[in-house]
Chain A
Amino acid sequence: MDERAGRVLRLITDEPVRGGDGDGVTGVLRRLCSAAERALSAQGVGVSVGAEAGVPGVAAVSGPACRALEELQFTLGEGPCLEAFNRRRPVLVPDLADESPGRWPAYLPALHEQGVQAVFAFPLQIGAARLGTLDIFRGRPGSLTAGELRDALTFADVAVTTLLDGQAQAPPGAAADGLDEVMGQRAEVFQAQGMVSVQLRVTLSDALARLRAHAYAEDRALGEVARDVVARRLSFGSGQS
Chain B
Amino acid sequence: MTTVSAERLATLFVEVADTLIDDFDVVEFLQMLTQRVADLFDTGEAGLMLADHRNRLNFMAASDESARLMELFQLQYGDGPCLDAFRTARPVTNVNLAAAAGKWPEFAPRAAQAGFQSVHAFPLRLRREVIGAMGVFGSATELDDADTLIVQSLADVAVIGLLQERSIRRGEALTEQLQGALNSRVIIEQAKGVVAQAYGVNPDEAYALIRAFSRNTNRHLSEVAATIVNELPALPNLTTR
Residues of A within 8 A of B (CB): 2, 4-5, 87-94, 122-123, 125-129, 143, 149-150, 153-154, 183, 185, 187, 190-199, 201, 204, 230, 241
Q: B197, A198: Cβ atoms under 8 Å?
A: yes
B160 CB–A CB distance under 8 Å: no
Kindly state the separation between the CA atoms of A128 and B175 in the bound complex, as whole angstroms.
19
- With contacts A143-B172, A195-B194, A198-B233 known, is A150 near B177, CB below 8 A? no
Query: Pick the contact of A87 from B171, B180, B229 — CB < 8 Å?
Result: B180
Partner of B52 from the list A91, A128, A185, A196 (CB cut-off 8 Å) is A185
0 or 1 for each of B52-73: is its CB under 8 Å from A? (1 = yes): 1111101100000000000010
Closest to A2 in B: B54
Q: Is the CB of A193 within 8 A of B175?
A: no
Q: Which B166-186 residues have C-beta < 8 A from chain A?
A: 170-172, 175-177, 179-180, 182-184, 186
A90 touching B179, Cβ below 8 Å: yes
| CB atoms of B190 and A194 under 8 A apart | yes
Is A143's CB under 8 angstroms from B180's CB? no
A-B pairs, 7 with minimum CB distance: A194-B193, A89-B180, A127-B186, A190-B189, A191-B193, A92-B172, A198-B197
A123 to B203, CA, bound (A): 27
List B contacts of A190 (CB < 8 A): 186, 189-190, 192-193
Contact residue among B59, B197, B203, B229 (Cβ-Cβ distance under 8 Å from A127): B229
Given the contacts A126-B186, A128-B190, A190-B190, A198 and B232 also touching, CB distance less than 8 Å? yes
Shortest C-beta distance, A20 to chain B (Å), equals 32
Please name all residues of chain A whose beta carbon is closer than 8 Å to the beta carbon of B192 when the two chains form the complex.
190-191, 194
Q: A127 touching B190 by the CB < 8 A rule?
A: yes
**Do A197 and B232 form a contact, CB below 8 Å, given A89-B177, A190-B186, A241-B200?**
yes
Which B residues lie within 8 Å of A241 (CB)?
197, 200
CA A88 – CA B181 in complex, angstroms? Answer: 10
Query: Is B196 positioned at the interface, with any CB of A under 8 Å from its CB?
Result: yes
Among A5, A126, A190, A241, the one with the most B-chain Cβ atoms within 10 Å of its Cβ is: A190
Specify which chain A residues have a CB less than 8 angstroms from the CB of B121 in the assembled complex: none
A190-B189, A192-B193 given; A153·B53 CB < 8 A: yes
* Residue B230, interface by CB 8 Å: yes
Give CA–CA (A79, B3) in the complex, Å: 52
Chain A residues closer than 8 Å to B226, beta-carbon distance: 128
Q: Say yes or no: A154-B53 contact (C-beta < 8 A), given A90-B175, A94-B172, A197-B232.
A: yes
Closest residue on chain B to residue A1 by CB atoms: B54
